[in-house]
Every structure is written in structure tokens, then in C-alpha cells.
Structure 1
Amino acid sequence: MPDAALSAVLADVPVRARRRAAVWTLPGRQAATPSTARQRMTDILARWGVPDGARYDAVLIVSELTTNVVRHSAADHMRVTVRLPDGGPLTVIVTDQGPPAKPAGRVNESAEEGGRGLGIVAGCSAAWLIRFPGQGFEVEATIAL
């Protein structure tokens, strides 16, 4: 049995938090890309044990963001990143590798098919932001667990 002094020292040593992350590249101009992104996200988050509500939100966010790239970008490919440190939050990032362009949120008429993607991202996330890394753009959404 370890002595009390050693036990006290060991109790004060921080345990390195486990950080789970996955990154993958997808084609930018293929109609099947959002479906592939949804399936990969679903599989990864299920394997990580992410609760159903957060998993649903993350899958919806990746679907909307990859659809935006397919529909509105000239990018040949995009990168999807998902991170989950112990204790959360879950972070989803979609990076468009196309020519510089600013995503445009818009108010749409109720009968319009599109124009809701960034609003859905905002509604499903605790916080979100857009970055312009030089080429294309990157949207990051944070999802509370």
C-alpha cells in the first residue's frame, strides 16, 4: 500500500485529458458528398459515445455545411474536422478549399428550397464562426454536450 505522502502527490498530478479528433477530405463538387459526410460523422460520434442530441446536431451541421460547399463553391475538395476533448464541447469544422468567397446568409421566402444553411448551423450550435484562411473559408460550430 502506498504511503499517504505519495498518494497525496499523485492526487495533485493532473491527468492528461483525452482528446478525440478526426479529419477527412471529401470531394467538393459531388452531390453524394453531404451523404458521405453525414455517414462518417454518425459513425465517428457513435464510436465516441456522443449523446444522441449532440450527435444529431453535429450530423445536421456537417450536412448543411458540406451541402453549401457542393452548391456554392468552386472547390475541388473540402476538409471536415471534428474534435471532442474530455468534457466537451464538440467542435465541427468544414473548410472549403476553393477560391476566396464569402458565404452569404440571407433571409428567404418560406417556399424557397435553399438559403437556410447558416441559420440551421446557428440554431444547432452553442456558438459558430466563419474564418477566411486565405483561400476559401472555414465554418466552425461548437456543440454543447
Structure 2
Amino acid sequence: MGLMTGGWRLPMAASPASAGLAWSLVEQRLLTWGVGEDARYDAHLVLAELVANAVSVTPADGRITVGCDREAGGIVIGVADPCPRLLRAPAPLVELRPEDLDLREENFDLNGGWGLGIVGALSAAWGADPLPDGRGKVVWARLRA
């Protein structure tokens, strides 16, 4: 897909706090490109999910790389991480009921898994490609803008 070899990219700490910094920097790029508010909102949600997924598979002292590129008719956002395992499309979203969740305190934050469904719903296309050096992957989303 070429996102990590062209366009704008920035290595960041593999920390949940990186999502906010990544968004601030990507949003400035999108504003420079004249991307509208609705598309920026979708990009924010997509980027947050991609960063969260990358951070979850990267050692605490590791790095992720956030990238953004402009294309005819849209933008591409991607996050590279060192985990070589490629992702598959998630199962279709279903309606959850509170009784479907494990709300015990020790498992409260483990009821996720909807991130790629959100990415798929907001994106024209998304995917995961191995990095050229074979040391990880980039998960990307193409959004209309």
C-alpha cells in the first residue's frame, strides 16, 4: 500500500498516550489539506483504534509509526507495529447486551474487540500489509475526504 514509504510518518512510543499526540499531528496535516470536519472526525476515531491495536501488540519499550497520506478523493491513515501477525476482517457487528459482557473489576477493560469493526464501518477500505523489511505490519484505512 506504500503508506510507510511515502507521505507523512512519525515514530512514536508504544503508549496509549501516543493516540492523543498522533491525533494532534494528523489533524494539523488534514487541516492543511483542507479536509472537512466530518472526515476529520472519522479519521480521529479510526486513528484512535489503529493506535490502540498497535500499542496492544508492541512491547512497552517499543515503537509504533503513525502515517498519513493524501490521495485523489481521500486520505490514508496507517499505524505500523513490530508484530508480524496480519489481521483478518472481524465478524459482523452484533448488538451487545450488558449480560454479554464480563463486568468483573479484573476483566472490565477486556470486553473490547470492536475496533476493527469501527475502522471498517468508517473507511472506504482497510487492510494490513507486512512491512517491506518483514519486521512487522502496517494496518491502514482509506477514508473519503
Once the two structures are superposed, the pairs formed by residues 55-66 of structure 1 within 5 Å of their partners are: 55-66=40-51
TM-score (norm 2): 0.72
The 5 Å alignment of 1:1-145 reads 21-28=7-14, 30-74=15-59, 76-85=62-71, 87-96=72-81, 98-103=82-87, 105=90, 110=96, 111=98, 112=101, 113-133=111-131, 134-145=134-145
Instruction: Tell me, in whole angstroms, the C-alpha distance in 2 between the residues paired with 1:131 and 1:99.
Output: 11
Question: In structure 2, the residue corresponding to 1:68 is in which secondary structure?
Answer: helix
TM-score by length of 1: 0.72
Contact 1:93 1:138 in 2 (8 A): yes
Q: Equivalents in 2 of 1:31, 1:108: separation in Å?
A: 27
Q: Structure 1 segments of 4 or more deviating over 6 A?
A: none
Q: Which runs of 5+ in 2 are unaligned?
A: 1-5, 102-110
Corresponding letter in the other structure for 2:136: G
SS of the equivalent of 1:102 reads coil
Q: Partners of 1:62 and 1:122 in 2: how far apart? A: 12
Calculate percent identity across the aligned residue pairs: 31
**Root-mean-square deviation over aligned CA pairs:** 2.4
